[in-house]
């Protein structure tokens, strides 16, 4: 099960490096960043646009991939209408977890069975108990958000060449998975009901935010510009 954990994993060294990036050439700025770190925590510094700029352009940046993702994704989400810090942590945790070998195809870290299609996940719900249903519904949301968020060009090319599902399909399936998972006792026990319900409600906005990350930082020259314009409007059915 994906849990929002990335922010809690940062070390003191990570935090001090962010302070250094913010005040590299200005002692006053560095002292101000240090004070803000001590009083508000690292999350407040990661929201600073100057950190985003430094992570992307400073030749001496030494931050871990988890910290880079925790800068790129939270800066993209508010522009799409998703403002909750715990949701940003969840989405960042999801992206990092699914970057590991074959994790994206598995409902949980411990199981071996893999699912390559959303319809297979839906079929797996037919005889699932409450715990299993929660994991499958959550994974339905996670997989839809990861694939349609970070690889929208692949989704659209597959739709055109093979008649595969469009982005709107992933929006519907992902939103439904998150929303149903949020209503379970398992979600309440993990204190995830708010995060999952929010993603169910704002799935398209979260997907568009990841589209921006993909377009700007991962594959900036790929895809059709007109397609990207429609995606920024949150439209998968064009």
Query: In this predicted structure, what is the pLDDT of residue 104?
Result: 94
pLDDT value, residue 221: 62
pLDDT of amino acid 207: 96
- pLDDT on residue 77: 87
**How far is it, in rounded angstroms, from Cα 179 to Cα 196?**
6
For residue 236, what pLDDT is reported?
A: 38
Q: pTM of the prediction?
A: 0.86
Long-range pairs for 63-69: beta carbons < 8 A, 24 or more residues apart: 63/14, 63/17, 63/18, 64/14, 65/96, 66/6, 66/9, 66/10, 66/92, 66/96, 67/10, 67/14, 67/18, 69/6, 69/95, 69/96
The residues, ordered by sequence, that sit 6+ positions from 2 with a Cβ below 8 Å of its Cβ are: 90, 93, 94, 97, 138, 142
Tens place of pLDDT per residue across the chain (238 aa): 899 999 889 888 888 888 888 887 788 888 999 998 999 888 778 878 888 888 888 777 777 888 888 889 988 888 777 878 899 999 999 999 998 888 999 999 888 899 989 999 999 999 999 999 999 999 999 999 999 999 999 999 999 888 899 999 999 999 999 999 999 999 999 999 999 999 999 999 999 999 999 998 887 765 555 455 455 554 433 2
Domain residue extents for the chain: 1-66, 77-232
Between the two ends of the chain, the Cα-to-Cα distance in Å is 33
Q: What are phi and psi of 77, to 5 degrees?
A: -65, -45
């Amino acid at each position: 099960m994906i849990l929002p954990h990335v922010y809690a994993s940062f070390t003191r060294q990570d935090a001090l490096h962010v302070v250094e990036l913010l005040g590299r050439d200005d002692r006053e700025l560095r002292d101000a960043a240090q004070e803000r770190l001590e009083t508000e925590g690292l999350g407040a510094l990661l929201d600073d646009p100057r950190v985003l700029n430094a992570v992307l352009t400073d030749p001496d940046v030494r931050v871990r991939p988890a910290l880079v993702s925790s800068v790129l994704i939270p800066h993209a989400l508010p522009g799409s209408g998703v403002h909750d810090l715990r949701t940003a942590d969840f989405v960042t945790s999801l992206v990092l977890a699914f970057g590991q070998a074959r994790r994206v195809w598995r409902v949980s870290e411990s199981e071996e069975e893999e699912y390559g299609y959303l319809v297979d996940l839906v079929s797996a719900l037919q005889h699932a108990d409450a715990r299993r249903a929660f994991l499958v519904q959550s994974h339905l949301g996670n997989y839809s958000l990861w694939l349609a968020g970070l690889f929208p060009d692949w989704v659209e090319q597959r739709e055109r060449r093979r008649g595969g599902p469009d982005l709107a399909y992933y929006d519907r399936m992902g939103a439904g998975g998150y929303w149903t998972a949020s209503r379970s006792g398992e979600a309440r026990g993990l204190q995830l009901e708010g995060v999952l319900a929010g993603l169910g409600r704002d799935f398209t906005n979260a997907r568009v935010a990841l589209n921006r990350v993909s377009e700007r930082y991962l594959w900036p020259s790929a895809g059709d510009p007109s397609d990207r314009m429609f995606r920024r409007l949150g439209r998968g059915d064009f």
